Amino acid sequence: MREKIAIGTAAAAAALLANNLYQMFMVLPDEALQGAIYRILFFHAPAALVGMIGYFVALTFSILYLSSKNFLHDSLAASVVEVSLVFSVVNLVTGSIWARVIWGIWWTWDARLTSALVCVLIFFGYLVMRRAIEEPTQRARLSSALCIFGCVDVVIVYKSIDWFRTQHPGPVLDFRTGGGKMDPAMAHIFWLNFLAILLVAVALVLVRTRQESTAREIDSLRRLAHTAA
């Protein structure tokens, strides 16, 4: 059943992406100031948003694990972090490329960029630590705690453009500015592509969770064997 949901989500994501790509390159005109390169926005910002949403989902699962001690929540948290990390890296890389074109540099240490990088480092550390702990309960317990601490930084990433004057542009998306900063046609494609990327992320999480729970089933079967003996 879960497999079918995963396949379904992946298929929907692929269809939506194809449509979006067509719209982006064939329908929308070049932007006035930036030319063709602005289209990277359609991947850059959604990747960042999906990543950040993911960390909060992982936060939720971590808290759930701590209250329920249900390992399913732990493996969900871990797979969500893994997938979010991928999208955060996509955000960094696309941002870097964009920066190279628009600003002429790959990187600068402004608040948004710095905090985004730190966020990647924190959750990379999360994965490294998980791998270093063998005992399942200990791993779940400690990584849940780390996830909660890490999410504080996600807030900083999100708010950094409000708090500091940065090289990185300030808020433009409607839900933060109250609307009006983005062309409606662009905003439409933007949100469609956000949805597509979100679906990709969900599909990836489903696959990862399935792997994790299979591993857990094998584990508990082995326990059962011992119990019988």
Partner 1 sequence: MTSAIELAGVWKFYGDYAAVRDVTLNVEEGSCCALLGRNGAGKTTLLRILAGLSSFERGSAQLFGVSPRQAHAGFLGHGIGVYEDLSARENLHFFARVAEVAQPESIAAEWLERVGLANASDMLVRQFSRGMRQRLALARTFLHTPKILLLDEPFTSLDDRAIAMLSELLVESRRRGATIILSTHQLREAMVIASHVALIENGRLRHAGERTEAMLDDPGLLYRLHA
Partner 2 sequence: MKTIRHALLIARKDLALELRTKESLNAAGAFAIVILVLFSFAFEETEQIKEIGGGLLWLVFAFAGALIFNRSFARELPNDCLDTLLASPLSPASLVTGKALANFVMLLAMELISIVIFGIFFNVNWTRHIGELSLVFALGTWGISILGAVFGALTVNLRLRELMLPIIIYPLLVPLLIAAIELTKLLLSNQSMTPNDFLWTKLLIVFDVVFTALAMLLADTILVN
Contacts with partner 2, residue ranges (CB under 8 A): 66, 109, 114-115, 117-118, 121-122, 124-125, 128-129, 131-133, 137-138, 141-142, 144-146, 148-150, 152-153, 156, 163-164
Q: Indicate the residue among 162 and 219 with the shorter CB distance to partner 1.
A: 219
| 3-class SS of residue 33 | coil
| Neighbour tally for 165: CB within 10 Å | 9
Other residues' Cβ atoms within 10 Å of the Cβ of residue 24 = 18
Q: Among residues 8 and 170, whose Cβ is nearest to ligand HEM?
A: 170
Residue pair 28/192 in contact by the 8 Å Cβ criterion: no
Q: Quick one: angle between helices 2-22 and 184-228, nearest 10?
A: 160
* 166 interacts with ligand HEM by CB under 6 A: no
**Residue 48 binding partner per list partner 2, partner 1, ligand HEM, none, with a CB distance cut-off of 5 to 8 Å that depends on partner kind:** ligand HEM
Per CB under 6 A, 46 contacts ligand HEM: no
Residue 176's identity, in one-letter code, is R
Nearest residue to the partner ligand HEM, using Cβ: 95
C-beta of residue 119 within 8 angstroms of C-beta of residue 157: yes
DSSP state letter for 40:
G
Q: At residue 64, what is the residue type?
A: L
Binding site for ligand HEM (CB under 6 A): 41, 44-45, 48, 91-92, 95-96, 98-99, 102-103, 112-113, 116, 157, 168-169, 172-173
